[in-house]
Structure 1
Amino acid sequence: MTESAQGAGDAMGCYVYGVVPESDTFTGLDDLRAVGDPEVSVTLVRHRDIAAVVSDVATDRPLGSPEDLQAHAGVLNALAAKGAPVLPFRFGTVLKDAQSVASEVLTGGHDAFVVALERMKGHAQFTLKAQYDQDAVLWEVLDERPEIRELRERLNKVSDEAAYYERIELGQLVAEAIAAKRDADSAEIHQRLAPLAAATATSEPSSEAGLVDASFLVEDRRRNTFERAAEDLARHWHGRVRLQLLGPLAPYDFVADAMGDREEEG
């Protein structure tokens, strides 16, 4: 796809959210908040049997505010919620105008987009964010590893200055024990949910208490079963792990595979 670009000297550009099948059935685009200016309308640039989702954007200010990021995701997720296959572009993709979108993006990428949209048809992404209750997991470690519990109890009886290296050892032992739990619990998430998805993708959690961030590409016909399985997992780990299931979302984590060898923008 075309990298982000701005027309030299232009005050306005064309912001591109992603590509969808060309259709007259898309309604409610005017209700979506556009990147850069909530008063601007989100529209389509059509080319044959595909279309780019776009809006006008001022090019004299940088993009990247929380509101911009939320607007970008909001447009794409609203389309996904309508059941439309959508190929998300990377945040900040701006071209000179609608004609440039048609000629530089849709014309050259037409065949690859059609194949990818067909692969995404009838699917949506669900992202599971799992985070430990740190106190609960620490007590698990102390219960399961008596040598760690005994070391902790002994160090609680001496000053902070004493047994400095033993305190470092205690921290390392606890971290290793929690890391082992993280591996086992991540495997259980995959075991329970991956069979209900067409594809999966995982990433490291951003916080110390994070267990895993996992994304699943789920067929529409299996959505209810998948959501029930996630609810069962939340009940199973109640008081130990906090689970947040987000979706249906645009398939951000699966565009690269859908596009094959072609560079993607989302």
Structure 2
Amino acid sequence: MTATYVYGLVPAGTRLPEGLTGMGPGSVGTVEHDGLAAVVGAVPEGRALGSRADLLAHESVVDTVAQAATVLPMRFPAVIDDAGIVDELLAPHRDEFLAVLADLEGKVQYTLRGRYEQEVLLREIVEQDPEIRALDQHVRGLPQDVGQADRIRLGELVVAALDERSTVDAADIEERLRPYAERVSLSATPLPDEVITAAFLVDRDRAAEFEEAVEELGRDTHDWLRLRLLGPLAPYDFVTGR
């Protein structure tokens, strides 16, 4: 019995892009059952899966399929015995998977990441906040080994100002782009210079419109914000538990 890698699920009858290759030997194809199909490929022989190259290959297959078809991505890595593709995956969960595919029909994901131009933002914070400006000028005039308490206080004020500013800016970005998306999924932004990391579920027919809205946002904020848009992608952030 051989094993097969499952990249994702699509409606039966979906035509995959020509020349689609995955992480193993041979081409990527489908296994169909009662209106549902698994996008599958061979598993590399003799090695465990889990490398960055494997993950990138998984995402490449799923995102390429998503360019033209509705796809439900499987969680990486997803290996199953050949005999179990229908009996263990497709047949028992058919109705559930078809319902999710129907919900995602015609939609793709865009992931937007926004990061401050740190020097520009810090300069604005110092200029706009009288307390921070005064404390900054004070510690600049002190020897390096003097005024430790004031330096700590300055750092705390700057961090608080950054948090407040990023909260406002993230809300503004979401408000500008939400009208072009069906749903929005916000992620935590753990780094001080990160403003927003968000996934937007966009109707494929409105993809160009959404991209133009992001470009316009970038033009309006280019002095102090760097945006990175990924997509169209499979809707990773809008499905659960595969």
Classify the TM-score, shorter chain.
over 0.9
1:30-179 matches, within 5 Å, as 31-35=19-23, 37=24, 39-58=25-44, 60-82=46-68, 84-97=69-82, 99-179=83-163
User: Structure 1 unaligned runs (5+)?
Assistant: 1-9, 257-263
After superposition, give the CA deviation of every residue in 1:64-94 in whole Å (9 maximum; x if it has no partner): 2121111011001001112x11001111111
* Number of matched pairs: 242
AA matched with 1:241: L
Q: Is the 8 A contact 1:32 1:74 kept in 2?
A: no
1:186-197 matches, within 5 Å, as 186-197=170-181
User: Structure 2 unaligned runs (5+)?
Assistant: none
After superposition, give the CA deviation of every residue in 1:84-140 in whole Å (9 maximum; x if it has no partner): 11001111111122x211110100110111111111111111111111110111011
Segment of structure 1 superposing worse, 245-254 or 52-61: 52-61
1:220-231 matches, within 5 Å, as 220-231=204-215
AA matched with 1:15: Y
After superposition, give the CA deviation of every residue in 1:193-249 in whole Å (9 maximum; x if it has no partner): 112111110102354321111111011222222111111110110121001111110
Q: Does 1:201 align with 2:185?
A: yes
Q: Is the 8 A contact 1:42 1:55 kept in 2?
A: yes
Which of 211, 217, 220 lines up with 1:236 in the alignment? 220
Which contiguous aligned blocks of 4+ residues in structure 1 show a shift greater than 4 angstroms? none
Please give the alpha-carbon distance, in whole angstroms, between the structure 2 residues aligned to 1:34 and 1:244.
26
TM-score, normalized by length of structure 2?
A: 0.95
Tell me, what secondary structure is at the counterpart of 2:93? helix
Q: Is the 8 A contact 1:143 1:149 kept in 2?
A: yes
Please give the alpha-carbon distance, in whole angstroms, between the structure 2 residues aligned to 1:156 and 1:133.
22
Please give the alpha-carbon distance, in whole angstroms, between the structure 1 residues aligned to 2:156 and 2:81.
54
- Give the share of equivalent positions with the same residue, in percent: 38
Matched with 1:16 is 6
Change (3 A) 1:33 1:157: farther
CA offset at residue 18 of structure 1?
Answer: 0.9
AA matched with 1:78: T
Please give the alpha-carbon distance, in whole angstroms, between the structure 1 residues aligned to 2:181 and 2:213.
11
Q: Is the 8 A contact 2:108 2:234 kept in 1?
A: yes
CA offset at residue 187 of structure 1?
Answer: 0.4
Please give the alpha-carbon distance, in whole angstroms, between the structure 1 residues aligned to 2:113 and 2:196.
6
Tell me, what secondary structure is at the counterpart of 1:108? coil
TM-score, normalized by length of structure 1?
A: 0.86
